[in-house]
Amino acid sequence: MTATANTPAGLLDYALRTEPARPLVTFYDDATGERVELSVATFGNWVAKTANLIQDDLGAQPGDRLALLLPAHWQTAVWLLACFSTGVVVVPGGDPAAADLVVSGPETLDAALACDGERVALALRPLGGRFPQPPAGFADYAVEVPSQGDRFAPYAPVGPDAPALQLPDGSLLTAAEVVGRARESAAGLGLGPGSRLLSGKSFDDWDGLAAGLLAPLAADGSVVLCRHLDRLPTDQLAQREKSERVTHTAQ
């Protein structure tokens, strides 16, 4: 049961061992029309590749802080779990100048240059496409990640007491506290095994992080993650909820 997992990586590991084929993240971008569905196994593969990139190519150490300058997106969810798996502390919307490394989308590249450490850029194009022209001073995630290994093992175990997530209010959560709060959020949202939560929230705070990934993962459920949901007409939203078998919403 996920109740025995005490780290976010443990939650994913449980899902990989028990229901690898079930959907975990279904992503929509209502500005581009993109739809991506990732099973637990596919999501886990992306997490493993990204964690290997963080640990080996970027040389990040447990406890290093990563400023995550990305919107709600399936690749953002991957980076969250990859950081948790390596012991790197995720700081959503964090100050790049105060971070050891930074991960940026195309709209925050100028701000991300303030980081003196490793910089990674995501084009956030459909199907995980690369930048047409690589941004100067950044590694292009879509270029670097495909060659990474499909399995990941941290050089040092990441335990429940390891720092994992720094929230915008400055609070620093351990891995166990992330899992505990994810379970509390899942209960508050009424999620259980098989639940499908539609979320239009950003990943800038706990509520968005929980709805967009952590609560459904903790509840053995899945998320329909929607970017630019405000551009979708009400009747089309209702149709999406029906076609995606949505059981709960967080907007």
Which residue, among 208, 204, 205, has the nearest Cα to 189 in the 3D structure? Answer: 208
pLDDT for residue 183 is more than 60: yes
DSSP string, 113-124: TT-SSEEEE---
Of the pLDDT bands very low, low, confident and very high (cuts 50, 70, 90), residue 42 is: very high
How far apart, in whole angstroms, are the C-alpha atoms of residue 144 and residue 137?
14
pTM for this prediction: 0.97
Count of CB atoms within 10 A of residue 37's CB? 16
Residue 182, class by beta-carbon neighbours within 10 Å (0-12 exposed, 13-18 middle, 19+ buried)? buried
How far apart, in whole angstroms, are the C-alpha atoms of residue 159 and residue 8?
10
How many domains would you assign to the chain?
A: 1
Q: What is the domain range of residue 87?
A: 2-250
Q: What does the pLDDT look like over 119-166, one tens digit per residue?
A: 999 999 998 999 999 899 999 999 999 999 999 999 999 999 999 999
pLDDT, residue 51, reads 98
Residue 157, class by beta-carbon neighbours within 10 Å (0-12 exposed, 13-18 middle, 19+ buried)? exposed
pLDDT for residue 187 is more than 70: yes
What is the three-class DSSP state of 2?
helix
Q: For residue 190, give every residue at least 6 positions away whose Cβ sits within 8 Å of its Cβ, in sequence order, or none.
A: 248
Angle at 175 between CA 169 and CA 179, to 5 degrees: 90
pLDDT, residue 251, reads 84
Asked if 218 and 179 count as a contact pair (C-beta separation under 8 A), the reply is yes
Asked if 71 and 202 count as a contact pair (C-beta separation under 8 A), the reply is yes
Which residue, among 48, 109, 58, has the nearest Cα to 81 in the 3D structure? Answer: 48
Mean pLDDT of 1-20: 92
Q: What does the pLDDT look like over 197-251, one tens digit per residue?
A: 999 999 999 999 999 999 999 999 999 999 999 999 999 999 999 999 999 999 8
How far apart, in whole angstroms, are the C-alpha atoms of residue 182 and residue 217?
8
Mean pLDDT of 55-68: 98
Asked if 18 and 41 count as a contact pair (C-beta separation under 8 A), the reply is no
Strand partners, 222: 196
pLDDT, residue 102, reads 98
Q: How high is the mean pLDDT of the chain?
A: 97
Which residue, among 23, 151, 142, has the nearest Cα to 75 in the 3D structure? Answer: 142
CATH number of the domain to which 86 belongs = 3.40.50.12780
pLDDT for residue 2 is more than 80: no
Mean pLDDT of 1-29: 94
Query: Does an H or E element contain 34, and which?
Result: strand 34-39
Q: Residues 204, 144, 121, 196: is their CA dihedral positive or negative?
A: negative
DSSP 170: S
